[in-house]
Chains A and B, each alone.
Chain A
Amino acid sequence: MSEEDIASKCYDIHVSLAGKEVPEFEFIPKVGMMVSLSLHLRGLPILEYEKLRLVSSYYFRISPLLLKDLLESLEEIEFVKLITKGSSIHKIQPQIPFFESVYEKVGEFANNKLSLNEPEELALEIISKLTSAPTEQSNLYSLGAEKKLVDRNLVIGHEGGYILTKRARGKNILLSPLFFSENADVFADLTARAGSTKIKRILELVKSAQGLPLSIIESTMRINENSISIDDLNILKRLAADGAVRPPSIKTTHSGENFFIFSPSPGNSKLNPAKREIYERAMAIVASVRQGQFLAKQFRIYSPVALLKALKRNGYLKSTSETFEQYHQLAVIKVGKMVKVSGDRYQFHLVSSEENTAALDLAISLIDTGNIVNMEINDNAILALQKDQTYIESIISSNNLRTHATIALDEETMQEFDNILLTGLGK
């Protein structure tokens, strides 16, 4: 596992633990917290220590007792400069580079200065395995660790919310909601049926060609240059049909309705809930340009990335007779608007907003690398860091209300509750 991967997985586990303490873990939470602080401090002005202490405790679940040590570690890698008065920190000057990977730099520090214990090593190995695909529980016992240690790690993973066990076809399938945040049942069933290796390969192929139209995959039996089997295609169709890969669709008069395939949407550590809408918009943008790339009637797009960069630069796309149908869905979700030029020719204009620019950047990254980037940031925390101290104080003072407010249940828990209502109460 690369240093970057280690830091990334530590961050995932730290976010998922959401403040729960695991006696065995020391390295993972510390590295996770360092990443969390770095991601959120990038680009901010000089901050009062007091304010950062409150925000860190509230938003990042970082105990005030640990903050000083974390900041000193961040100072060692030159991510912050600490302004001290005597032995206490007075202010923090963030110096997190924009053009370097936060994960890589923190991972490098962790590798040199900190050491993983055995349970932590195993936790990272398990989460790394579950990143690419769900797997049968029995596979974890072949990782080489003692059974007792694996079992304890599974307990931590379940309690910490980064491992989920699903029964499918009589097997225990493990998956991580950090990487497969929706339709756990479908993924578990497909893994029980086809095996982890197959699912992993298919998902890697999808990631390498985000937003490919299903009909093109079906007719060519290929994803990029890689051929796929009928069985692979059926798995892909099942993922699409059951919404596991959330395919947006576009309907045109010349090519009918087409579904565009994406890899599973990630969980909260990589995709902050507040950023989910941006992610949905980015997928819709990718689907529109893929439509023009693979299913154009006359005006084919040869370089989707170049086209999206032009849209970002100019704010609009040149008119064609296919523009209206191709980008209509984007107008519906207010990413852009249609401007009639003549007859059936329309220009697509980007609606200028921070969210749309972020969605466009994400769309470019999705096509270019298959990855989603910069979607883990909690904007509320950044806002709190930039406002004056009374702002965060007022949020914290309303903390009691927040703690006791009812939390809306996710779809899966709701289904379980509905099942209880089927059996219980009132014949």
Chain B
Amino acid sequence: MIKDRLLKIKVVEYFVDNFWYPQMEVNMLSKHRISNVPKLITDVDVLGMYPDISGSLHPILGDCKTLKGQSPISRSLWMKGLMDYIGSKKGLIVLSKDIEKEHQITSSLLDIQLLSEADFGLYSKATTNQSITIISALKDIECWDKLFEVDKRFPVLKTFLDFSKTQFWNESSSNYQLRSSLAILRENKGEFNPSNPLHLATVLNHFSIVAIALNNIIVTLFNRYLTPKSKEELNNDLKVFIYGGIENYEFLNNLRNRFSGNPVPEKELTLPEWDMFLELIRLVFEQPKVFSYVPIYLKEISFHFLADGDKSRFSLAPTLVRNEPQLSNYASRLSSYLCKAANLPPEFNEIYSGMLIL
């Protein structure tokens, strides 16, 4: 069960009310490994992803503590170090006790909001949209508990689940996040059973992090030259970008050709189902900023599989779609692509499509 759960879920609520993507309990690893196993250096209680004016998603760190033996400003200084380490520009600390003003002012100089639990209520009310009350499965701590306990029922899925809590957030580039999240999905495809709601939730939650990586790739490409003039142009640029630059791409492509044993390779190195992927990217170029809401939309729907009772009470997904009508389309197209690229049982796509198209 998640510790300090009531404080943490308040931060999640705040993120969700702002339509920011929430992820609880993110583990941070050492970037420079010398041991065989990844070394855990610290964790983040709630990590949010918020869009900037271009639609690119950036991390905001949320920390909640019942501090004993540590001053509030010490916590802020720890957070500032972590923000620099992972490239985050904004932090938020909610403590269960009152905080001295000097500590708050110093923290704000570090771009960290240091708040007591009581003040956080005021802060979140004042800085979110008050016209509607968002009901979301993401605000249900029980759903988070269930998600984090999937690996206890299915130990074979532990690596897959750890990826969305740990490895993904520790990758430095979006293109590598995209490739590695696609690879781990393909590696585990044989484990997923579409008749199990926990599997449906886990896989769609994974799709939501793929969407984060893809969003930042789309924004980067779109801001380079808006919409490409031809499929050929998009094809050439995108594959090179995704595989980390021309030198890297050519190296991997040559390696692949040598390994395949075919003197004339049938096709070049690309992501699986490349034509479908190109179509998706081209479609998103119509309204690229809308795509920044796809991650939270997919995560919300994934949490519907974890929630008890009537799902129609949740208002986050319909609100998002009402604000951005293309959202449903983008999310279901991405889901179809990932189901196909990972070769998941076809029911996954059928079930997801039924829920994503509102």
Contacts and interface: CB of A to CB of B under 8 A. Distances in A.
Interface in B241-268: 243-244, 248, 251-252, 255-256, 258-262
Contacts of A397: none
B85 interface: no
Contact of B345 (A193, A417, A426): A193
Interface string A73-111: 000000000000000000000000000000000000000
A414 B268 CA distance: 12
Interface string B176-196: 100110111011011111110
The dominant DSSP class at the B interface is helix
Interface stretch (A141-149, A163-171, A367-375): A163-171
A189 B252 contact: no
A170 B191 contact: yes
A408 B260 contact: yes
Given A426-B243, A427-B172, A408 B256 contact: no
B255 A427 contact: no
A419 B341 CA distance: 11
A420 B191 CA distance: 19
B256 A418 contact: yes
Contacts of B194: 169
A169 B345 contact: yes
Given A167-B191, A170-B191, A418-B256, A426 B251 contact: yes
B190 A167 contact: yes
Contact of A427 (B173, B256, B271, B343): B173
Contacts of B191: 167, 169-170
A169 B190 contact: yes
B179 A422 contact: yes
Given A409-B261, A422-B182, 20 more contacts: A166-B190, A167-B189, A167-B190, A168-B345, A169-B195, A169-B345, A170-B190, A170-B191, A188-B190, A238-B346, A407-B261, A408-B261, A409-B260, A414-B260, A417-B256, A419-B183, A422-B180, A425-B248, A426-B251, A427-B244
Contacts of A422: 179-180, 182-183, 186, 271
Contact of B269 (A408, A418, A427): A418
Contact of A168 (B179, B190, B248, B259): B190
A422 B182 CA distance: 8
A185 interface: yes
A180 B186 CA distance: 22
A189 B255 contact: no
Contacts of B243: 426
Interface in A392-427: 406-409, 414-415, 417-423, 425-427
Interface residues of A, number: 27
B16 to A, nearest CB: 31
B156 to A, nearest CB: 7
B180 A423 contact: yes
A185 B343 contact: yes
A426 B260 contact: no
Contacts of A421: 252, 255-256, 269
Contacts, number: 77
B272 interface: yes
Nearest to A190: B345
Interface of A: 166-170, 185, 188-189, 192-193, 238, 406-409, 414-415, 417-423, 425-427
B179 A423 contact: yes
Q: Which interface residue of A169, A192, A415 has the most chain B CB atoms within 10 A? A: A169
B140 interface: no
Given A193-B345, A417-B259, A427 B193 contact: no
A219 B326 CA distance: 37
Main SS at interface, chain A: helix
Contacts of B255: 421, 425
Most B Cβ at <10 Å: residue of A415, A417, A422: A422
B307 to A, nearest CB: 23
B343 A169 contact: no
B154 interface: yes
B149 interface: no
List the 5 shortest-distance A-B pairs measured between CB atoms, nearest first: A167-B190, A422-B183, A406-B261, A408-B261, A169-B193
Interface in B128-173: 154, 156, 171-173
22 contacts: A167-B191, A169-B192, A169-B194, A169-B345, A170-B191, A170-B192, A189-B345, A192-B193, A193-B345, A409-B259, A409-B260, A418-B272, A419-B186, A419-B187, A421-B252, A421-B269, A426-B244, A426-B251, A427-B171, A427-B173, A427-B175, A427-B244
A414 B252 CA distance: 14
Interface centre among B262, B269, B346 (most CB of A within 10 A): B346
Contacts of B258: 406
A170 B154 contact: yes
Contacts of B192: 169-170
A420 to B, nearest CB: 8
Given A422-B179, A422-B180, A170 B260 contact: no
Contact of A425 (B184, B193, B252, B260): B252
Contacts of B262: 408-409
A193 B194 CA distance: 10
A189 B195 CA distance: 13
A426 B250 CA distance: 12
Contacts of A409: 259-262
Interface string B272-315: 10000000000000000000000000000000000000000000
Contacts of B189: 167, 185
B186 A427 contact: no
Contacts of B346: 238
A233 B288 CA distance: 40
Contacts of A425: 248, 251-252, 255
B136 to A, nearest CB: 30
Contact of A170 (B156, B187, B256): B156
Contacts of B186: 419, 422
A188 B262 CA distance: 28
Interface in B193-232: 193-195
B183 to A, nearest CB: 4
